Amino acid sequence: MEWFSPLFCFALLALLSPPHHGARALEFDSALARELLESASDSEFSGWLRSVRRRIHEYPELSFEERRTSQLIRSELDSLGIEYVWPVAETGVVATVGSGAQPWFALRADMDALPMQELVEWEHKSKIDGKMHSCGHDAHVTMLLGAAKLLQKNRDKLKGTVKLIFQPGEEGHAGAYYMIKEGALDGVQAIFGLHVDPMIPTGTVSSRVGPLLAGAGRFTVVIQGKGGHAASPHKTRDPIPVLSMAILALQHIVSRETDPLEPRVISIGFVQGGEALNVIPETVTFGGTFRFVSAESYAYLKQRIKEVIETQAAVHHCTAMVDFMEESLRPYPPTINHPTMYDHAKRVGENLLGKQGVRNDPMIMGAEDFSFYAEKVPAAFFMIGAKNETMTSAKGLHSPHFVIDEGVLSVGASLHAAVAMAYLEDHAK
Ligand SMILES: *[C@@H]1O[C@H](CO)[C@@H](O)[C@H](O)[C@H]1NC(C)=O
Ligand SMILES: [Zn+2]
Ligand SMILES: [Zn+2]
């Protein structure tokens, strides 16, 4: 009979068979996401989040000095009954929630503040002169503690283990690198991280697949000449024109030597040299940063920066010492979102915030040491909106006027927890 064509049988079979794994995972995700967001938004929970964030905000600590912050994290984990390892990389804390069995999924927050004066006048302004949480890491710690509380509440439902990584020294000090060196990622299969973004509304997140943030390297240069009277330049080796020409020559590397379709930046951030109007100095110094999105570009830029500067110096009978400071200040790799992890976090984000709540924005040339984790395991990093309608002129990260809408704390806590729980659900044996 025509009716029982093979196609029809196949369709009937598909209708009668139970929903496949993907559909079940989706259902689980959206019910779970709603439940987590509701828990994290109730007034007691969000009040606790605010108080944690404000306590951290009042006592900002610089990279690898986060002792008080670390203490606060441990005491909150203690009261939640969550186990942790400490110290990891001096002040870092790695907590564990769940069965202890595989799969292991990691969530990460950074803890450090910046050496700058807070100019926002409010009740919980920084009490430490010259230090401020202007990159929102106080909110990151709080959101991860919020996730810890949600996960602990749901620990019987966890199909594996969640590691909560509280790391020091994100602001230029590669804290993530040292956390990994001390075992923070051991056994972990994938990782997720969040960064607050005061430019997009609370209740939205933003990211993209592939490169999201650039890698960053640094360099300082000493041009060695021979000083003397400014009226007799022929008796000197003037390092000042050498510095000028070297800086101009550097502008040609990105603009003339590299593919315009792959982003790269070289910027000079400081120049120093000379003291008197009539003296040619012995030495002058300058330095800057360079940005890239691949290991090849990193190697290329580094080699060319050195060559261009040394060659300019040699032409003018001076010498140059170019220092990439890699021992003390490790370069950051680019932050690359893994396609599968990106899709996972996006799907959970959409379940939590709706389709319009997950934005796809262009990459930016800022850098993040989350990239060290992303080099080791599949990773996704998302920006999370922290701007509400009353904040008409939001100030960017690292501004002395930086403020966030604390509503982000509940969203971030539940997103962290939902991404982790859904991952374990999908990957449980
Ligand atoms: C918006 O954020 C500001 C800054 O944190 C806060 O003072 C204000 O209460 C928030 N408004 C709403 C409606 O959430
Ligand atoms: Zn920062
Ligand atoms: Zn930051």
Amino acid at 102: Q
**Averaged pLDDT for residues 88-112:** 97
Whether residue 120 has its Cβ less than 6 Å from ligand 1: no
Is the predicted pLDDT of residue 399 greater than 90, yes or no?
yes
Q: What pLDDT is attached to residue 12? A: 42
* pLDDT digits 0-9 by tens, 219-231: 999 999 999 999 9
**Could you give the CA distance from residue 325 to residue 290 in angstroms, rounded to a whole number?**
13
For ligand 1, atom 9, which residue shows the shortest CA distance? 405
For ligand 1, atom 2, which residue shows the shortest CA distance? 405
Q: Which residues are annotated as a binding site?
A: 135, 137, 171, 195, 398
- For the chain, the domains span 19-212+334-427, 215-323
**Averaged pLDDT for residues 117-128:** 98
**Could you give the CA distance from residue 80 to residue 56 in angstroms, rounded to a whole number?**
18
Q: What pLDDT is attached to residue 392? A: 78
Q: What pLDDT is attached to residue 153? A: 97
Is the predicted pLDDT of residue 409 greater than 60, yes or no?
yes
> How does DSSP assign 181-240, residue by residue?
HTTTTTT--EEEEEEEEEEEETT-EEE-SEEEE-EEEEEEEEEE-B-EETT-GGGSB-HH
Give the closest residue to 200 by CA, choosing from 387, 357, 361, 409: 387
Share of the chain above pLDDT 90, in %: 90
Q: What pLDDT is attached to residue 329? A: 86
Whether residue 198 has its Cβ less than 6 Å from ligand 1: no
Under the banding of pLDDT at 50, 70 and 90, the label for residue 22 is low
Under the banding of pLDDT at 50, 70 and 90, the label for residue 311 is very high
Give the closest residue to 338 by CA, choosing from 295, 376, 368, 302: 376
Burial 372-408 (b: 16+ CB within 10 A, else e): bbbbebbbbbbbbbbbeeeeeebbeeebeebbbbbbb
Under the banding of pLDDT at 50, 70 and 90, the label for residue 23 is low
Is the predicted pLDDT of residue 25 greater than 90, yes or no?
no
Under the banding of pLDDT at 50, 70 and 90, the label for residue 11 is very low
Q: Which ligand is nearest to the CA of 54?
A: 1
For ligand 1, atom 10, which residue shows the shortest CA distance? 405
Q: What pLDDT is attached to residue 19? A: 43
Under the banding of pLDDT at 50, 70 and 90, the label for residue 24 is low
Instruction: Indicate the CATH number of 19-212+334-427 among 3.40.190.10, 3.40.630.10, 1.10.150.120, 3.40.50.300.
Output: 3.40.630.10
* pLDDT digits 0-9 by tens, 253-268: 999 999 999 999 999 9
Range from 178-182, 208-212, 394-398 carrying the lowest mean pLDDT: 394-398
Q: What pLDDT is attached to residue 6? A: 39
Higher pLDDT, 66 or 14: 66
* pLDDT digits 0-9 by tens, 317-353: 999 999 999 988 899 999 999 999 999 999 999 999 9
Omega before residue 87 within 30° of 0, cis: yes
Higher pLDDT, 428 or 228: 228
Whether residue 391 has its Cβ less than 6 Å from ligand 1: yes
Is the predicted pLDDT of residue 95 greater than 70, yes or no?
yes
CA of 135 to the centre of ligand 3 (A): 5
Contact of 64 with 168, CB cutoff 8 Å: yes
* pLDDT digits 0-9 by tens, 348-398: 999 999 999 999 999 999 999 999 999 999 999 999 999 998 987 778 999
To the nearest whole number, what is the mean pLDDT of the chain? 93
Instruction: Indicate the CATH number of 215-323 among 3.30.70.360, 1.10.3720.10, 3.40.640.10, 3.30.450.150.
Output: 3.30.70.360
Phi and psi at residue 113, to the nearest 5°: -110, -175
Whether residue 407 has its Cβ less than 6 Å from ligand 1: yes
Whether residue 80 has its Cβ less than 6 Å from ligand 1: no
**Averaged pLDDT for residues 34-61:** 97
Q: What pLDDT is attached to residue 391? A: 85
**Tokens 């997103």, residue located:** 415
**Could you give the CA distance from residue 372 to residue 334 in angstroms, rounded to a whole number?**
9
Is the predicted pLDDT of residue 9 greater than 50, yes or no?
no
